[in-house]
Amino acid sequence: MLTGVPTQARVFGEEIFGPVAPITTFAADDEAIRLANDTEYGLVAYLFTENLSRALTTAEALETGMVGVNQGVVSNPAAPFGGVKASGFGREGGVEGIEEYLETKYVGIAL
């Protein structure tokens, strides 16, 4: 965990695959969402709160493929895994992952 990291630091704009958590403060939820979305990546975001309404509103506003609320691990075999922006295209796992391999065809027949 890194505390007091300035928002201009590279760690805030890059996708880090490791046990690194840059921590910064914010005055309002809108500011936190803006800071979190200010990157070309969008694999996963994490938020911690006791307020369910705040969690759902924030999760919806975050530009990521996955959001962990009050947990550090979001991946499981039944869940779709994947990101948005430069963090991926499509999903693996879950129903959404299977749909990537299917072709839907509609056939209309007048008899």
User: Per residue in 72-89, pLDDT tens?
Assistant: 888 887 788 888 888 877
Task: Tell the CATH topology of 2-99.
Answer: Aldehyde Dehydrogenase; Chain A, domain 2 (3.40.309)
DSSP string, 12-78: GTS---SS--EE---SSHHHHHHHHH-SSEESEEEE--S-HHHHHHHHHHS-SSEEEES-S----TT
C-alpha closest to that of 25 among 49, 42, 45, 5:
5
Tell me the pLDDT band of 108, cut-offs 50, 70 and 90: confident
Its sign, for the CA torsion 80, 10, 86, 84, is positive
User: Per residue in 21-67, pLDDT tens?
Assistant: 888 888 999 999 999 999 999 999 999 999 999 999 999 999 999 99
Which residues are bridge partners to 85 per DSSP? 41
CB 63 within 8 A of CB 32: no
The pLDDT value recorded for residue 69 is 95
Residue 7 pLDDT exceeds 90: no
Which residues are bridge partners to 66 per DSSP? 44
> What is the DSSP secondary structure assignment for residue 8, as one 8-state letter?
T
